[in-house]
Amino acid sequence: MAEQGTGEPEVTRASVIEQLKNVNDPELMMNIVDLGLVYRVEVDDEKVEVDFTLTYPGCPASEHIRREIVTTLEDFTGRDDVAVKLVWEPQWRPDFMSEEARVSLGYPI
């Protein structure tokens, strides 16, 4: 991973998405990026913003996933300016998953 002149990891949209692969849906035991749950990642000098969704409304893992996103990104960035928002539009569909996730969960490719 690229580092800034300070020796700290460079915080970019791509590096944040890579870090989000460390956050698993506790029911499916698969990362939220491959599941297609991450809808938006914005990074600037002021903050990191992430919009995510769930596979269905009422999913009991929502708060767990939100906390894991915040913790993972605060640890990675060394900053406490991570804003995470649960969104419902567009409604999640299985075709949002990576090919690997679809195969693993038995969905057609």
Q: What is the pTM of this model?
A: 0.89
Q: What is the pLDDT of residues 29-83, one digit of tens each?
A: 999 999 999 999 999 988 999 999 999 999 999 999 999 999 999 999 998 999 9
In whole angstroms, what is the distance from residue 39 CA to residue 30 CA?
16
C-alpha to C-alpha distances, 66 to 4, 36, 60, nearest whole angstrom: 27, 15, 11
pLDDT at site 7:
60
Which of 5, 92, 82 has the alpha carbon at shortest distance from 57? 92
In whole angstroms, what is the distance from residue 70 CA to residue 23 CA?
10
Q: Quick one: how far is CA 61 from the chain centroid?
A: 14
In whole angstroms, what is the distance from residue 65 CA to residue 54 CA?
9
Query: Are residues 37 and 66 in contact, defined by beta-carbon separation less than 8 angstroms?
Result: no
Using DSSP's 3-state secondary structure scheme, residue 83 falls into strand
Question: In the chain, what are the domains?
Answer: 13-105 (3.30.300.130)
Q: What is the pLDDT of residues 4-26, one digit of tens each?
A: 555 667 899 999 999 999 999 99
- Checking if the pLDDT of 3 tops 60, the result is no
In whole angstroms, what is the distance from residue 62 CA to residue 56 CA?
10
